[in-house]
Amino acid sequence: MITGTTGIKDTPKGARIWIEALENKGIQKGGYYMATYAPDAITVEFIQSTEKPKGYRSNGSAGGIVDLQSKKVTAWAQGSTVAQWTVQDEHTLIIKRV
């Protein structure tokens, strides 16, 4: 498993979690993702689909990006400013508050 940390930053639209270079972390570049919020973690599932679900992963020069920004992230973060992410497998990323 690959793990790391990233900041949780306040923005006018809600808190933001930004994770880039996913391809270097074992996540396949391209495709889409869906985020599921639970009290203790955010699960990001990467899917191959012909229809765009809510949220998407950039397949640009940054090697793939997860960009979560909303009031849901603010509520989930509960004031935390750092999140730890773990690549569970090539299709799943788990994010937890630190």
Each residue of 10-20: pLDDT tens digit?
999 999 999 98
Q: Is the pLDDT of residue 8 over 70?
A: yes
Each residue of 61-70: pLDDT tens digit?
567 788 899 9
**Domains contained in the chain, number:** 1
d(CA 25, CA 82): 19
Each residue of 13-53: pLDDT tens digit?
999 999 988 888 888 766 788 899 999 999 999 887 666 66
Give the model's confidence band at 60: pLDDT under 50 very low, under 70 low, under 90 confident, else very high.
Answer: low
Q: Is the pLDDT of residue 58 over 60?
A: no
Buried b (16+ CB within 10 A) or exposed e, 2-38: eeeebebeeeeebbbbebbebeebebebeebbebeee
pTM: 0.87
* pLDDT value of position 68: 92
**Which residues constitute the domain of residue 9?**
2-97
